[in-house]
């Protein structure tokens, strides 16, 4: 899989319930002739302005903790994280425009 073929649909979280939550993202991974894999519900969080933002995969809330919905194991985790963070940084630079889907943080 070519990392440049990953599509990220990111929405900035203007009125989030937590000041740490910065954005929501859906990631589409092409699987060639098999089709596409769309993973919905990633979050971009930043604990403090002095810390770098990080990507949190989809999870559901249980009674005492969160449970993973999607596990990304191996290099795919870094590829997806990098794509989401690239799109997040792009939208921060152009915050006035609506979040259209992009490929690796560049306008399609």
Residue 104 confidence class, pLDDT cut points 50, 70, 90: very low
Q: If you search the block for the tokens 């560049």, which residue do you land on? A: 106
pLDDT, residue 106, reads 41
> Model's pTM, two decimal places?
0.80
pLDDT, residue 58, reads 93
pLDDT, residue 15, reads 72
Q: 100 phi and psi, to 5 degrees?
A: -90, 155
> Could you tell me the residue ranges of all domains in the chain?
3-99
Q: CA angle 94-97-99, nearest 5°?
A: 95
């Amino acid at each position: 899989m070519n990392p440049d073929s990953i599509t990220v649909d990111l929405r900035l979280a203007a009125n989030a319930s937590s000041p740490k939550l910065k954005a929501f993202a859906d990631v589409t991974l092409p699987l060639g002739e098999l089709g596409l894999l769309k993973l919905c519900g990633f979050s971009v969080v930043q604990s403090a302005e002095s810390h770098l933002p990080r990507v949190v995969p989809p999870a559901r809330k249980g009674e005492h903790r969160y449970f993973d919905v999607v596990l990304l194991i191996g290099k795919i985790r870094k590829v997806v994280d990098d794509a989401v963070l690239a799109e997040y940084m792009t939208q921060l630079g152009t915050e006035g425009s609506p979040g259209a889907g992009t490929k690796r943080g560049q306008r399609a």
